[in-house]
Amino acid sequence: MPQDTHGDHEAPARAEGFNHARTAQSVALLEDYTEMIDDLIHEHGEARLTDIARLMGVTHPTAAKAVARLKREGLAVSRPYRGVFLTEIGVAMAARVRLRHRVVVDLLVAVGVPAEAAEIDAEGIEHHVSDATLGAFEAFLKARG
């Protein structure tokens, strides 16, 4: 029988960490789609499912499933022959994600990460950083001027 190398007292904290990561991953998908839809609306006046799938690098059915989830969550609506549009809540989510992304990129660049790598790395980090950590990032950047 395998021996537990971590004491039983650590189990709740570890489980909480794993649960947080799973929840963040689920929310990250919603955030990525709201941000992409918002970008498409600003660029083209609407977000067509075909464009969403192409830009997200997924199949049309995968994009349709994600959009259906956005609609269930109250983040988006769609109109026949018109495309997908964000609700006020969806627009707010997209703006929040965009801001988080910018702070993470700025911090990574401030600590010496090349700008191109910082943009790519921020795509993952922005969804998993806590509000407390993001606040610390902002304070650090503000202190640097």
Q: Nearest-5° angle of CA 18, CA 22, CA 26? A: 165
Q: Distance between CA 25 and CA 11 in Å, rounded?
A: 21
pLDDT of residue 117: 96
Q: Residue 78 in contact with residue 85, Cβ under 8 Å?
A: yes
pLDDT in tens, 17-48: 666 555 556 788 999 999 999 999 999 999 99
Task: Tell me, yes or no, if the pTM score tops 0.75.
Answer: yes
Q: Distance between CA 101 and CA 78 in Å, rounded?
A: 26
Q: Look at residues 87, 80, 34, 81 and name the one whose alpha carbon lies nearest to residue 56.
A: 34
pLDDT of residue 9: 64
Q: Distance between CA 91 and CA 75 in Å, rounded?
A: 8
The one-digit pLDDT tens for each residue of the chain (145 residues) are 555 555 566 777 676 666 655 555 678 899 999 999 999 999 999 999 999 999 999 999 999 999 999 999 999 999 888 899 999 999 999 999 999 999 999 999 999 999 999 999 998 898 888 899 999 999 999 999 8
Q: Which CATH class is domain 11-87?
A: mainly alpha
Intervals of CATH 1.10.10.10 along the chain = 11-87
Topology (CATH) of 92-144: Diphtheria Toxin Repressor; domain 2 (1.10.60)
Intervals of CATH 1.10.60.10 along the chain = 92-144
- Can you give 125-140 as a three-state secondary structure string? HHHHCCHHHHHHHHHH
